[in-house]
């Protein structure tokens, strides 16, 4: 098993319904933020990795035309598989070692979160390492938070830090799930029960660009850097 993962799965298959009319003819990852496609902001974080995979479903031809010239491998899903099912379907492209996963609908400032995750990753103790955001630094997020870490970084569910959509995760447990479409939340629950779910806190800002107003918020965040 590699100590530092060298492959990343970018989740890009969703319909983007929260974006309303903006995604009627354009997939959400191609919505422009600060003059660039949203997914290109995610790709900036993956430039140091050997293998970049994105799953597609809604308007896949547009994503293919945008991503294939950039060397991104595509995992087309005839049916929406959610995060867990989508990751499992892409393992032939990603390999069987632990991988990064990254949502395509967020913008970051601060140190590259994937590089920070790699520095903190300890596969002897961890089955997953999640990048978490203090609520005050999680722009566009309205929830109470997702996880509470203990003094050693082990996670329990609860109002506290916000999950950012970036993590390192082992893929072994994907094969224990019977459902075709399922969330990675199922794996996190199993990992937490075994005290092998961990998190660290991002040192910069993060903006969820899931709704139209998130575009302006993200652009202002980037302009303030």
118 vs 129: CA distance, rounded Å: 9
Residue 43 CA from chain centroid, whole number = 11
> In tens digits, what is the pLDDT along the chain, a chain of 225 residues?
456 899 999 999 999 999 999 999 999 999 999 999 999 999 999 999 999 999 999 999 999 999 999 999 999 999 999 999 999 999 999 999 999 999 999 999 999 999 999 999 999 999 999 999 999 999 999 889 999 999 999 999 999 999 999 999 999 999 999 999 999 999 999 999 999 999 999 999 999 999 999 999 999 999 998
Q: For residues 4 and 26, what is the distance between their CA atoms, to the nearest angstrom?
A: 35
Say how far apart CA 194 and CA 162 lie, in whole Å: 21
Phi, psi of 50, deg, nearest 5: -75, -40
Query: What is the residue extent of each domain of the chain?
Result: 7-223
- Tokens 């990852």 correspond to 29
The top-level CATH class assigned to 7-223 is: alpha beta
């Amino acid at each position: 098993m590699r100590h530092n993962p060298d492959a990343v799965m970018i989740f890009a298959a969703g319909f983007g319904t929260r974006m309303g009319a903006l995604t009627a003819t354009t997939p959400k990852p191609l919505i422009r933020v600060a003059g660039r496609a949203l997914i290109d902001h995610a790709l900036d974080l993956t430039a140091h990795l050997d293998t970049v995979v994105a799953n597609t479903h809604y308007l896949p031809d547009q994503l293919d035309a945008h991503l294939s010239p950039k060397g991104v491998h595509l995992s087309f899903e005839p049916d929406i598989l959610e995060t867990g099912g989508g990751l499992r379907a892409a393992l032939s492209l990603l390999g069987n070692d632990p991988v990064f996963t990254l949502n395509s609908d967020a913008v970051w400032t601060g140190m590259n979160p994937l590089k920070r995750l790699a520095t903190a990753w300890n596969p002897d103790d961890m089955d997953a390492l999640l990048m978490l955001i203090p609520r005050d630094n999680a722009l566009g997020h309205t929830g109470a938070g997702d996880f509470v870490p203990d003094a050693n970084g082990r996670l329990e569910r609860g109002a506290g830090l916000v999950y950012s959509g970036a993590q390192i995760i082992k893929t072994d447990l994907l094969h224990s799930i019977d459902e075709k479409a399922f969330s990675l939340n199922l794996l996190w629950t199993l990992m937490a029960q075994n005290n092998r779910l961990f998190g660290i806190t991002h040192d910069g800002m993060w903006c969820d660009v899931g709704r139209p107003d998130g575009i302006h918020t993200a652009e202002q965040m980037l302009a303030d850097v």
